[in-house]
Structure 1
Amino acid sequence: MAIKKSALGGKQGKTKMEKKEIYSDKLRGLLDDYSKVLIVHVDNVGSNQLQQIRTGLRGDSVVLMGKNTLMKRAINEHIKKTGNSNLKQLEQLLKGNVGLIFTKGDLKEIREEIAKYKVGAPARVGLVAPVDVVIPVGNTGLDPSQTSFFQVLNIPTKINKGTVEIITPVDLIKKGDKVGSSEASLLTKLNIKPFSYGLVVQKVYEDGSVYSPEVLDLTEDDLAAKFAAGLSNVVAVTLGLSYPSLVAVPHMIINGYKNVLSVAVATEYSFPLAEKVKEYLKDPSKFAVAAAPEAVTGGGSAAAPAKEETKEEVAEESDEECMMNLFDD
């Protein structure tokens, strides 16, 4: 009797435990090779769509999907083996229907590449709307017998050339609301696919740090503006506490100069930098000539109004000029 070769020594399929171990080894290897990971939400992403994303990212990145429990166990084993406790932050991000994209490329470019593979999807009954759905104005191409759908949803229409025409835009579904059967039927009849699905980056893990994907959109100008705002806060706090810091010292010197100048103006006390201010206060016309020489050469008409300036206004203007010259020598 002939015996089939496969019955004796054919290649047997791997057991469930062996497959889990192979998967864990792969994940641990990726953790060794890559320091940047995108945590992506994968709801409503089909297998064909996912395969297209894998192909598009091939070369710089590796897409890994799997059960959260299996991924967490593999990460925890890797932490015990390597002592890299930073990976605990990655393990804590594995909640819900998520996957991991390991990459060595530019994170912003990888996210933009992922966004290319979004596909349109119809509004299914019971689905929570990820965006607002608005029915636009225009001819629907439907015959008048279909007006009942529009009446149920309170959509104003008219019959134009034997077809139903929507006369005003209508907010059909709000973001976060569940799609009803009437809304789903109407959108299907209008051949509108209001939703699009793809991998959505939720968090970014990079060298032990976890941050929001919005950080990837920051430009150098944004960073400079945020740095300047932070610097202003430091100056305000240190000035309020009278605590000298590198950024507050110039302001403290100027404020100190103002105080000493005020004392010198109000008393007989004087010092070289105060002499010019006192000279202006004694004869404000000198300041008017220095500030607007072109007006004086035009006939001297500007000098007379300048004498009407109050003592406080001249002192303030002179104070600003002296402060500009304080560090000139």
Structure 2
Amino acid sequence: MPRSKRDKDVSLTRVKKKTRGAKEGLVHQLREAVDEYPHVFVYEFENMRSSKFVQVRQKFKSNSRFYFGKNNVMAIALGKDKTTECATGISKISQLLKGQCGLMFTSADKDEVIQYFRELKDADFARAGVIAPQTIDLSAGPLEQFAFSVEPQLRKLGMPTSLVKGVIHLTQDFRVCTEGEAIKPEEAKILKFLEEKLSVFQVNLKAYWSKQTGLKDLA
């Protein structure tokens, strides 16, 4: 009886001893998933939020498994070329495992999965370092949306403020952030005070693979 491709030995000599067992376990899990599920999607994040991705996992908990990170180990598990791949043509996925990406193994309907992720867009507060998608300016005058007690915090963040009869006022026009520039830590905090959500959490599907169709680009 021919030996299964999944049973091939792989080299993990570049892995530190203390993590070798865990990574060998991941290789085994991934190869089992290839056998168990008919579809494999390669996905990448925009503005990753762990709490929001938990909701994605919950959506597909009955018919899918997600793996994220450890790109090199995932590539070893799937096979980096035709001679080491654990299923015909799946090594092409390994070439796509770059940056913040992961694998979704699923028995859910392929078209339903694609539609779900296309519609998944969840606004959130931008973190420091994110490129501002727009410029936000505040005009001098009262900031009546704020309680007077936060005035010292706003001033500490660099806003030119003062209290006038218990109401916070901007003493001059103030630019919070500039389109195309990285948001600074102080700017991110001000945007949160203003309840301006400039980031959008979403999961982009890069490619799809199945034993029947092989690899198809979805980008």
Q: Could you tell me which of 38, 42, 64 is aligned with 1:39?
A: 42
Matched to 1:30, the amino acid is A
Distance 1:205 1:127, change over 3 A: same
Q: What residue in structure 2 maps to residue 197 of structure 1?
A: 201
Q: Could you tell me which of 142, 161, 179 is aligned with 2:183?
A: 179
Q: What residue in structure 1 maps to residue 20 of structure 2?
A: 17
- The structure that is strand-richer by fraction is 2
Cα separation, 2, equivalents of 1:56 and 1:110? 10
Spell out the pairing of 1:1-329 with structure 2 (5 A cutoff).
16-42=19-45, 44-76=47-79, 79-80=82-83, 84-114=87-117, 119-129=122-132, 131-132=133-134, 134=136, 141-142=145-146, 162=167, 172-174=177-179, 176-181=180-185, 183-206=187-210, 207-213=213-219
Q: CA-to-partner distance for each residue in 1:151-203, whole Å, 9 max, x for gaps?
A: 79xxxxxx9x95659xxxx99432x4311355334313313232132433233
State the percentage of identical aligned residues: 22
Q: Under a length normalisation based on structure 2, what TM-score does the superposition of the two structures give?
A: 0.63
Q: Once the 2 structures are TM-superposed, how far is the Cα of residue 115 of structure 1 from its aligned partner?
A: 6.2
Query: Aligned residue pairs: how many?
Result: 186
Q: Is the 8 A contact 1:140 1:190 kept in 2?
A: no
Q: Is the 8 A contact 1:127 1:178 kept in 2?
A: yes
Q: Once the 2 structures are TM-superposed, how far is the Cα of residue 28 of structure 1 from its aligned partner?
A: 1.2
Distance 1:17 1:39, change over 3 A: same
Q: Is the 8 A contact 1:68 1:94 kept in 2?
A: yes
Matched to 1:186, the amino acid is I
Distance 1:179 1:140, change over 3 A: farther
- The structure that is helix-richer by fraction is 1
User: The residue matched to 1:22 in structure 2 has which SS?
Assistant: helix
User: The residue matched to 1:127 in structure 2 has which SS?
Assistant: coil
User: The residue matched to 2:29 in structure 1 has which SS?
Assistant: helix
Q: Under a length normalisation based on structure 1, what TM-score does the superposition of the two structures give?
A: 0.45
Q: Is the 8 A contact 1:52 1:117 kept in 2?
A: no
Distance 1:42 1:139, change over 3 A: same
Distance 1:182 1:35, change over 3 A: same
Cα separation, 2, equivalents of 1:123 and 1:193? 6
CA RMSD of aligned residues (A): 4.0
Matched to 2:215, the amino acid is S
Higher relative contact order (CA 8 A, sep 6+): 2
Matched to 1:121, the amino acid is D
Where does structure 2 lack aligned partners over 5 or more consecutive residues?
1-17
Cα separation, 1, equivalents of 2:209 and 2:94? 10
Q: CA-to-partner distance for each residue in 1:95-150, whole Å, 9 max, x for gaps?
A: 11111112232334224444676554323332234x3355699965246x769967
Question: Highest Rg: 1 or 2?
Answer: 1
Cα separation, 1, equivalents of 2:138 and 2:109? 39
Cα separation, 2, equivalents of 1:71 and 1:210? 19
